[in-house]
């Protein structure tokens, strides 16, 4: 059973038991790429890197060794709407992990000398993307879909902007967004809630966050954009992107293969249609080798090695995409085959037997995915962070089971309109 708790300073805790002695614990922060002000592009991800470079209590070496010396690990990632710091360890080391996570998130000092070194590490990461057209095209296409809105910005930022950043810039970003009332601490493991609360409070007291934080104006948690004492500029950043306009672009890259993205602006995670698209996407280009796009482009015609589709949901919008790589002279043929598969879904509802097969496959995949405890823990933390709700495997499977063929058909007709599909093609230089 999932349990929740809210501390006086606004920090929310969500916990779920597990079947092993391994514990997955993290702090999800309501701060991502879309929260960057103009001139701050890449700072959310840079802040994540720098948080491991020293705190008021620990040097970087002590941070890196704290969990590893007991066989655990410590890591983090940055997304468009959140940054997550997390650790995996055996149950006896829970207090150690919580104390370290709280220290890294709340007490990092972002020393300039470490910034000057770490910026080159991030720039190497950027260049590795630039050297991989199959990765780079996703970032560029998402920026096209969101047409300059912060949601479309590359998470890593750009080299020139990162080199100009100073310790004070990172500290301002942290002061604006790294607040207890904009965070969730999550735990997946056999730790009683009373023990979780006790250890979190002890760690916060060491950071003086329980004593000094003013909780008199804590808001009611309704949505990510309403959470915390956000400035007018911050609330503006969390506004939905402008009206979607399809775009069609061809870019020339130093690549032997053509890389192609097709897609459209779609639904937020709070829109019921996002679940319909979840099912449709799994049929079209999900992980199964029997996905319709894989059968059409690879198995029947031998045109691609990889074709995949993806549905991404944010708090107020989303996008659906198809990616494939092929020989340059096969681009148009592959695009026609993709559109033909979309047309099949908008021509008539699925038969009852086809719908049952689709549901059975997806529910099986959901069940298997919940066996990945780290992903399950992170998703639980992110869901509670943004929507103040939790969802079990059984609840998600029931929601899928409740869908009808008409649900999927109506959503397909609304979304898969050929005139609304954007494209981006990476081709060889002539």
Residue 259 burial class via C-beta count within 10 angstroms: exposed 0-12, middle 13-18, buried 19 and up = buried
Contact 392, 229 (CB under 8 A): no
Question: Measured between alpha carbons, how far is 249 from 263 in angstroms, rounded to an integer?
Answer: 13
Question: Measured between alpha carbons, how far is 151 from 241 in angstroms, rounded to an integer?
Answer: 8
Pairing of strands 304-313, 258-265: unpaired
Residue 208 is predicted with a pLDDT of 72
Contact 134, 326 (CB under 8 A): no
Residue 209 is predicted with a pLDDT of 60
Residue that the structure tokens 């870019």 belong to: 251
Torsion, Cα of 419, 308, 156, 245 (10° steps): 10
Residue 225 is predicted with a pLDDT of 40
Question: Measured between alpha carbons, how far is 126 from 388 in angstroms, rounded to an integer?
Answer: 34
Check the CA dihedral 31-33-34-38 and report its sign.
Answer: positive
Residue 235 is predicted with a pLDDT of 59
Instruction: Name the CA radius of gyration of the chain, rounded.
Output: 23
Check the CA dihedral 57-61-64-66 and report its sign.
Answer: negative
Residue 428 is predicted with a pLDDT of 86
Residue 115 is predicted with a pLDDT of 94
- CA neighbor of 382 nearest in space, from 55, 374, 354, 393: 374
| Residue 80 main-chain phi, psi, to 5 deg | -70, -30
Residue 237 is predicted with a pLDDT of 62
| Residue 93 main-chain phi, psi, to 5 deg | -100, 20
Contact 115, 50 (CB under 8 A): yes
| 324 SS3 class | strand
pTM over 0.85: yes
Task: State which residues of the chain have pLDDT below 50.
Answer: 211-228
- The residues near 81 (Cβ < 8 Å, ≥ 6 apart) are 30, 32, 33, 34, 35, 224, 314, 315, 386
Contact 400, 357 (CB under 8 A): no
Residue 240 is predicted with a pLDDT of 79
Task: Give exposure, 152-167, as e/b (b: 16+ Cβ within 10 Å).
Answer: bbbbbbebeebeebeb
- Structure token pair of residue 347: 């021509």
* Domain architecture of the chain: domains with CATH: 3-236 (3.30.830.10), 248-428 (3.30.830.10)
Question: Measured between alpha carbons, how far is 296 from 341 in angstroms, rounded to an integer?
Answer: 8
């Amino acid at each position: 059973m999932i349990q929740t708790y809210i501390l006086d300073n606004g920090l929310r805790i969500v916990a779920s038991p597990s079947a092993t002695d391994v514990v997955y614990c993290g702090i999800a922060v309501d701060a991502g790429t879309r929260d960057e002000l103009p001139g701050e592009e890449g700072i959310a991800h840079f802040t994540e890197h720098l948080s491991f470079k020293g705190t008021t209590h620990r040097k970087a070496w002590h941070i890196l060794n704290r969990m590893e010396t007991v066989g655990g690990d410590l890591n983090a990632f940055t997304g468009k709407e959140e940054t997550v710091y997390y650790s995996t360890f055996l149950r006896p080391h829970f207090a150690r992990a919580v104390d370290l996570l709280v220290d890294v998130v709340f007490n990092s000092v972002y020393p300039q000398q470490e910034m000057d070194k770490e910026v080159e590490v991030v720039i190497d990461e950027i260049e590795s993307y630039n050297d991989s057209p199959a990765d780079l095209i996703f970032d560029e296409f998402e920026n096209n879909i969101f047409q300059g809105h912060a949601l479309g910005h590359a998470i890593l930022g750009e080299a020139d902007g990162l080199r100009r950043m100073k310790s004070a810039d990172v500290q301002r970003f942290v002061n604006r967004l790294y607040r207890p009332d904009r965070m969730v601490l999550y735990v997946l493991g056999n730790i009683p809630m009373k023990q979780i609360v006790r250890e979190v409070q002890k760690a916060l007291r060491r950071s003086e966050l329980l004593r000094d934080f003013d909780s008199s104006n804590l808001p009611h948690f309704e949505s990510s954009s309403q959470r915390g004492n956000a400035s007018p500029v911050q609330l503006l950043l969390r506004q939905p992107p402008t009206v979607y306009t399809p775009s069609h672009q061809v870019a020339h890259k130093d690549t032997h293969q053509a890389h192609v993205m097709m897609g459209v602006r779609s639904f937020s995670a709070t829109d019921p249609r996002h679940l319909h698209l979840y099912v449709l996407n799994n049929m079209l280009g999900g992980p199964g080798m029997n996905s319709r796009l894989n059968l059409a482009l690879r198995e029947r015609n031998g045109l691609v090695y990889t074709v995949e589709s993806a549905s991404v949901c944010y708090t107020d919008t989303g996008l659906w995409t198809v990616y494939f790589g092929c020989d340059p002279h096969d681009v148009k043929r592959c695009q026609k085959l993709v559109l033909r598969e979309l047309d099949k879904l908008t021509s008539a509802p699925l038969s009852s037997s086809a719908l049952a097969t689709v549901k059975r496959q997806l529910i099986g995949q959901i069940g298997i995915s919940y066996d990945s405890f780290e992903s399950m823990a992170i998703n639980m933390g992110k869901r509670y962070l943004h929507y103040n709700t939790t969802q079990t495997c059984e609840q998600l499977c029931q929601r899928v089971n409740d869908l009808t063929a008409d649900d999927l058909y109506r959503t397909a007709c609304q979304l898969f309109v050929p005139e609304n599909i954007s494209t981006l093609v990476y081709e060889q230089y002539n």
